Every structure is written in C-alpha cells, then in structure tokens.
Amino acid sequence: MSYSLLSAVGSGGLVGFMLGLLGGGGSMLATPLLLYAVGVAQPHVAIGTGALAVSVNAFANFASHAIKGHVWWRCALVFSGLGVVGALLGSSLGKAFDGERLIFLFGLLMVVVGALMLKPRKAVAAKPAVGTFGLATALNYASSGLVDWVLAAEFIGGGVVGGVFGMLLATRLGAYKNVLNRLFAALIFTVAAYILYRSWGAFLPA
C-alpha cells in the first residue's frame, strides 16, 4: 500500500495547524483528508490512523499550553477520564459498522459540529481531551489491525510542524477568535457536504 508522502505530510500539517490555531476542531478533518486527499481506501483504516495522528498532535499542542499555565487540570482529568470510556465504546461500535455508512454518519456529525462552532464561545482552559479520546480510539482500532503506522508517522510529522505555525498565529489573532471559528465552520460544512455526496450511496439498496 503506497501513499504520496507529500499528501500525507500536507494533510497532517493542515490538521495540526487547525489544532494549534483553534485548540480543537482540526481532528474533524483527519479522516476526510486521509480518505479523499491521501487516498486510503478503507474507511476504518482512515479512522484508526487519523485517530492516532490527531492524538499525538493534540498532546504536542497540549504540552505547549500546559507549560504556559493554560490548563484547568481538575476539569481536564475528569473530562478525559469519562471521555475515554465513551471513546472505547464508540470505537468498538464503529468497528462493527459498515465503513461507508459510518463515513456518511460522520458527515452528518460534521454538520452538527459546524453549527455549534457558529455560536460565540468564551475562552476556556486548554484540555487534553482530543489527545486522550484519540489515543483510546486509536488503540482500539490498532487491536484490530486498522492503523497504518507508517502513514500515521508521516501525518504526525506534518501535524507537528503545522501545529507550531498554528499556535504562533493564534497568539496574533486572539482577538478574532469568533471570526476564525465561523470561517472554520464554513470549511466544516463544505467538507461535510462532500462526504455526504460521496457516501450517500451506501444506504441505497444493493
């Protein structure tokens, strides 16, 4: 199985950049990028590989926020602990679900997330939630052989670089947080529409 190094690193860079810039949300792009930009044929492999890559990139970004004292640790630990249980249950259910139908449902979820991002939000302390949930999901998928480790490494490499640039830009554009969220929501809606277009046939009778 051979993928373009440039597409893998570039896609990871975009996800890392979004995570660094917005503190979250970029993980929603990992699976679509792996499927439609990198060319992963199996949706479950794209989900497992993307979860691992996003987890590592999220922890890298989290470390930077932790050093700066932007972490509300008690909330983070409780939120992450409970979320791991949900991630393990959800990923187990996902593995048992048809891949194409799962991607269609993922597209619908992206529409919901995009709508939520349109609501103004107060600044909150950084949490390791994305990293923890992603790691739990990745380990569950890896136990079934549904992680491409080489591709994940390439994706992570791009994500680390993208995350650095995203965090640097975030410090300069902090006053425009709500505008950035709206722009990212528009991107989420666009990607969701493409996913739904590509995968809706999975629900048609054979």
Neighbours of 11 (CB within 10 A): 28
- The residue-averaged pLDDT of 180-184 equals 86
Residue 99 Cα distances to 48, 80, 96, 122, 136, angstroms: 12, 27, 9, 36, 19
Higher-confidence residue: 176 or 11? 11
**pLDDT for res 130:** 67
Question: Tens of pLDDT along 69-91?
Answer: 666 667 667 767 777 888 889 89
Q: Are 14 and 187 in contact (CB under 8 A)?
A: no
Q: Which of 77-81, 122-126, 151-155, 183-187 has the highest mean pLDDT?
A: 151-155
Question: Whole-model pTM above 0.85?
Answer: no
Sign of the CA dihedral running 60, 83, 94, 184: negative
**pLDDT for res 157:** 92
Of 14-18, 47-51, 85-89, 172-176, the one with minimum mean pLDDT is 172-176
Domain range summary for the chain, segments of one domain joined by +: 5-106+124-176
DSSP 145: T
Split at pLDDT 50, 70, 90, the class of 158 is: very high
Split at pLDDT 50, 70, 90, the class of 121 is: low
Q: Is 125 left (phi over 0), alpha (psi -120 to 50) or beta?
A: beta
Q: Is 145 exposed, middle or buried, given 0-12, 13-18 or 19+ CB atoms closer than 10 A?
A: exposed
